[in-house]
Chains A and B, each alone.
Chain A
Amino acid sequence: MSIQPLEFEKPLFAMKDKINELEQMSQSMNVSLEGEIERLKTQADEVQIKLYRTLTPAQRLQIARHPQRPSCLDLIQMLSPDVWFELHGDRCGTDDRAIIGGIMEIEGRPWMVLGTQKGKNMKENLVHNFGMANPEGYRKALRLFQHAEKFNMPILTLIDTPGAYPGMDGEQHGIGQAIAMNIREMARMHVPIISVVMGEASSGGALGIGVANKIYLLEHALYTVISPEGCASILWRSAEYASRAAEALKITSHDLLEFGIIDGVIEEPTGGAHYDPNLCAERVKETVLLGLESVTSLGGSAEWIQQRYDKYRGIGAFCE
């Protein structure tokens, strides 16, 4: 599958196309263009390094939202290629497919895995509602968390959502309450919880499955209180200021690591996870296993709950 370039990647892609063209030409016409090709290749490498080293928050946001970025189901498939039982439904009449959950196995240990699922095309997005869950999705998640607790499985949550779905039914069915209840219940779960933000984690919709002992962000992923577009339209009164809002909100993985809000950044393949999903999954697996190890080494469930409490108890900036 070829990668769809983002707007800011187009000059780089043009250079690479040119190199390919020259290579083909030199082969088919049997002329030696090696010097020229080498020169272009070094130039392209330089451009590439510079481009991805100086990404703005708005560009990272584009990478995080890239339609080819590995989704939650892709990652599960790569983390646990042989074992995957999806568990459905909130037992109250609905199976919200914006959040999917089930049991997987990593290195012989069963995990309960939950995640918001974005589609890769319109058809998939209609099924998964663009990764925007309704209250029923959060209640399904809670049911599965409790299942994990009962059978002593660690929980992995994979977050990639623009937020909970802002709809009429959601308000009638208590979207706020469903998220709040998940926050409270996740805070007192007797099993370790690890959370990985794969793309964008926006507002309460992310927290509804996001309370964890360890939170990791993929390098280009973001964790924000409100989407930069939403922030811009409220504070600047126009969504055109989204890239400024993205900057002001300090939502990149490195900012959040510096603030002590997250526990680690998972380095992505050059250009983003979609350039090499398998490598990315390998790194996620490594990080998640290390995270679990460091949580379980604390002792038992009382210590895990305490560590989770202390972690969030310490977040806040104020004067007194």
Chain B
Amino acid sequence: MPLRDWFASRKSNTDKLDASLSNQKISDDELCRLWTLCFQCHEQLPTKDFTQNAKVCPKCDYHFRIGAWERIAQLTGQEEYFQEHGRCESQWFQELFGNLTSADPLGFEDTQAYRSRIEDARKKSKLNEAIVTGEAVLGSHRVALGVMDFSYLGGSMGSVVGEKVTRLIEYALENRLPLVLFSSSGGARMQEGTFSLMQMVKTGAALARLHEAGLLFISVLTEPTFGGVTASYGTLGDIIIAEEGARIGFAGRRVIEQTIRQKLPADFQTAGYLLKYGQLDMVVRRPSLRGTLIELLRLHQPYQTSHIAQNQKITGAKKAPKVKAATS
């Protein structure tokens, strides 16, 4: 091609490109989505890099809060699928008990009726309740997995959360699976009154059976875990892991400050603080969580029954022999 022609064709190409670009306007919204502002260090981060880094700020290590499905995607290596679909059901994760929804046993109404709060929460979070439960494959290990989601009414534990956690524990018992629970909760759900409170006992009693059956329970506490969840299944793990950046406690900081009339240290109730006081086994950064869990699962396999990668299919057909929950 003569040089002159080459220049001409180049020019026409750039013109075409400009035209197509100006036709295809990028909306402000989309432009915003390309960048994410870190809440902690105020750095503008390219969303793509940030997402690939498990939503942890590469600059200051701030762990952004993530939802249940995104967590499941990260744990089972399906982030891309999640980005497209907002869920990630596959051979790596099958949801269980997903159809359970809240009732309103007290007919509770404060400044807003509980029923309408539930509707809002469902729309906002696109979830049926504050926890997603199911069977997952982590590495080569089948596990009963539950992940709480703070965006649904502050991850509060009402009847449905209690029931799903209990059913998941019973499922783990029936199938001889280890249990992994990710907590993120403001505590018991006030709008269900004493029903909510009793979920602490229901889940705790089921965990007593899991304990007696010799099955592993790893509890992972994520930002934030408080109240009734801390005082029940959250802290009953054989191993308790906190995600970096999580704040964990029973009573809220403000309540304690008002009670003791003292200012609390800045790091009070952070994961590091609790580690120092012997309340946790370890604090793990999000990008290392999956690997840590897989290693722990491997080390706690019963020596004689190797679970290794039976095609990683969760069909339910390959149930281990049923073992009746020990009750005495």
Contact = CB atoms under 8 A, between A and B. Distances in A.
A204 B228 contact: yes
B199 A316 contact: yes
Interface string A206-247: 011011000000000001111000110011100000000100
Contact of A167 (B227, B233, B256, B278): B256
A258 B268 CA distance: 42
Contacts of A306: 327
Interface string B186-197: 001110111111
B201 A187 contact: yes
Given A184-B207, A235-B110, A318-B101, A177 B235 contact: yes
Interface in B247-292: 249-252, 255-256, 259-260, 262, 264, 268-269, 277-279
B201 A248 contact: no
A183 interface: yes
A313 B110 contact: no
B103 A319 contact: yes
Nearest to A208: B231
B205 interface: yes
Contacts of A64: none
A32 to B, nearest CB: 55
Q: Determine the interface band of chain B, counting residues with CB < 8 A from chain A.
A: 35 or more
B231 A225 contact: no
Interface residues of A, number: 60
B250 A175 contact: yes
B106 interface: yes
Given A184-B207, A249-B106, A318-B102, A305 B190 contact: no
B18 interface: no
A231 B101 contact: no
A301 B328 contact: yes
Contacts of A204: 197, 200, 227-228, 231-232, 250
B178 interface: no
A14 interface: no
Contact of A234 (B190, B201, B262, B269): B190
A96 to B, nearest CB: 15
B212 interface: yes
A309 B190 contact: no
A168 interface: yes
A308 to B, nearest CB: 7
A305 B207 CA distance: 13
Interface string B221-238: 000000110111111100
- Chain A interface SS verdict (over half): helix
Interface in A262-319: 300-302, 305-306, 308-309, 312-313, 315-319
A190 interface: yes
Contacts of B255: 166, 230
Nearest to A174: B279
Contacts of A172: 277, 279
B103 A318 contact: yes
B201 A312 contact: yes
Contacts of B189: 225
Interface stretch (B24-32, B64-72, B159-167): B159-167
A308 B191 CA distance: 25
Given A168-B256, A171-B268, A211-B205, A316 B327 contact: no
B211 interface: yes
Contacts of A251: 193-194
A171 B251 contact: yes
A23 B234 CA distance: 64
Nearest to A226: B190
B208 A187 contact: yes
Contacts of A301: 328
A318 B194 contact: no
18 contacts: A164-B231, A170-B250, A170-B251, A171-B251, A180-B204, A184-B204, A188-B209, A203-B227, A204-B232, A224-B194, A225-B189, A225-B192, A250-B106, A312-B201, A315-B195, A318-B100, A319-B101, A320-B100
Given A167-B251, A185-B208, 13 more contacts: A174-B277, A174-B279, A175-B251, A177-B235, A180-B204, A183-B205, A188-B208, A188-B212, A223-B194, A313-B202, A317-B192, A318-B103, A320-B101
